[in-house]
Amino acid sequence: MSRTDRTKPLWVRHAEHNPRQVHDHRHGGCDLPPHPTREATGTRCHWEDPGALLFGGTCCAGCHARGCVKERQEMARTSNRKERYEGRRLARRLASGAEDA
């Protein structure tokens, strides 16, 4: 088996990408396990769920559901469109000599 991120189990990828701690100290001290585990520990304080959207969609374990992908593509299109329009405005200003950029 290849050693790429794509073939690693989700819990391994989660542990490699600095998972976040979730603390609940309402009913006692911190009982966070020293490192993320495969199974749920049943403690008040725990490591964030590996399936959570904590990688921002740029990592190997991001959300791959259709809704997440569609939303990310829409944000990228909007960002690219704004950049393209700004570039055109700058080119027109330089061509007309109206403003030094």
Number of domains in the chain: 2
Q: Is 75 among the domain residues?
A: yes
Cα-based distances in Å from 90 to 3, 80, 98: 46, 15, 10
Query: What pLDDT does 91 receive?
Result: 93
Q: Is 41 among the domain residues?
A: yes
d(CA 25, CA 40): 18
The strand pairing partners of 100, in sequence order, are: none
Query: What pLDDT does 18 receive?
Result: 72
pLDDT (tens digit per residue) in 37-56: 777 778 888 877 766 644 45
Q: Is 101 among the domain residues?
A: no
Q: Is 100 among the domain residues?
A: no
Q: Do 51 and 77 share a domain, yes or no? A: no
Is residue 100 very low, low, confident or very high in pLDDT (cuts 50, 70, 90)? low
Query: What pLDDT does 69 receive?
Result: 75
Given a cut of 50, whether residue 29 has pLDDT beyond it is yes
Q: Do 57 and 79 share a domain, yes or no? A: no
Query: What pLDDT does 22 receive?
Result: 81
Mean pLDDT (whole number) for 24-48: 81
Q: Do 70 and 82 share a domain, yes or no? A: yes
Q: Is 87 among the domain residues?
A: yes
Q: Do 75 and 36 share a domain, yes or no? A: no
Given a cut of 60, whether residue 5 has pLDDT beyond it is no
Q: Is 91 among the domain residues?
A: yes
Query: What pLDDT does 74 receive?
Result: 84
| Domain span at 77 | 65-95
